[in-house]
Amino acid sequence: MYGRRGRIGLMVPTGNSVVEPEFQRMAPEGMSVHANRVELKDVTPDSLLAMENDTVRSARQIAQTRLGVIAFACTSGSFVGGAGYDDRLIKTIQDETGIAATTTTTAVVRALRLLNVSRIALATPYVDEVTKLEVEYLNDNGFEVTAWQGGGITDTADIQECEPEVSYNRARDVDTDRAEAVFISCTGFRTIENIARLETELGKPVISSNQATFADCLRILDLHEVAPGYGSLFDKTFEHARGDGSSGKGAQQAAE
């Protein structure tokens, strides 16, 4: 049976063709990844806020797959409403489905805190208006953004067309000596094949939206295994889980 060790459900923006392949590459044997779409016309504040209107439908549909966790897999769509907006999305999903949930923004904040960093460099594909909202969100959660750089893209499908070298080069360009970590934002921005390489070259942790979201899904599923080569965040995540004996927060077991 597919998903015998756990099933992840993804709520993915329409036009996003990156998050599912990246999750599948990171998934260990016995885990399955399933997705449903949430309507997103373009990556602008108004369109991102409008995603909330389609959240209940998407959550109810994906929940029929008997999942262990549901992730709202859109970074900008989960920070656009400001501090606490991601918690609101999580509550909506959990209330509608009875399944443990997270969002990408929630996962990123948890990852940064787990890595014990407070100063980060931020690389995004977004227009400046959206990137500035992310800087504000991170500031409100206690993180100093030492430098940031966006890509000026509003069309979701255009973000997916960026080769991995685009996020790699932007991460290198935005890094500063003061930054304790680099965060590459957006679940549609292809990143994971270069995370370990960037960590070696920059000498600091590098996290991406999909990597952080996947790590948080593993935490909720209480599964401490990942395909190798996707960054130090997973080592820290598993070390923390083993150290305090914690398990996922009431994750529904996938059907056996």
Query: What is the pLDDT, as a whole number, of residue 247?
Result: 41
Query: What is the pLDDT, as a whole number, of residue 248?
Result: 41
| Cβ neighbours for 83, distance < 8 A, ≥ 6 positions apart | 137, 140, 141
Query: What is the pLDDT, as a whole number, of residue 242?
Result: 81
Q: Is the pLDDT of residue 245 over 60?
A: no
CA-closest candidate to residue 121, choices 182, 198, 166? 182
| Cβ neighbours for 46, distance < 8 A, ≥ 6 positions apart | none
Query: What is the pLDDT, as a whole number, of residue 243?
Result: 77
Amino acid symbol at 62? I
Q: Supply the mean pLDDT for the chain.
A: 94
Q: Is the pLDDT of residue 255 over 90?
A: no
CATH 3.40.50.12500 fits 108-208, yes or no: yes
- pLDDT band (50, 70, 90) for residue 1: confident
HSE-up of residue 150 (Cα within 13 Å, Cβ side): 16
Q: Please provide the CATH number assigned to the domain covering 6-103+211-244.
A: 3.40.50.12500
Note the pLDDT tens digit of each residue in 178-214.
999 999 999 999 999 999 999 999 999 999 999 999 9
* Average pLDDT over every residue of 107-118: 97
Query: Could you tell me where in the chain the CATH 3.40.50.12500 domains are found?
Result: 6-103+211-244, 108-208
Note the pLDDT tens digit of each residue in 146-157.
999 999 999 999
Note the pLDDT tens digit of each residue in 5-59.
999 999 999 999 999 999 999 999 999 999 999 999 999 999 999 999 999 999 9
**Most distant pair of Cα atoms in the chain: their distance:** 49
Q: Which two tokens stand for residue 40?
A: 């997103």
Query: What is the pLDDT, as a whole number, of residue 254?
Result: 31
Note the pLDDT tens digit of each residue in 49-89.
999 999 999 999 999 999 999 999 999 999 999 999 999 99
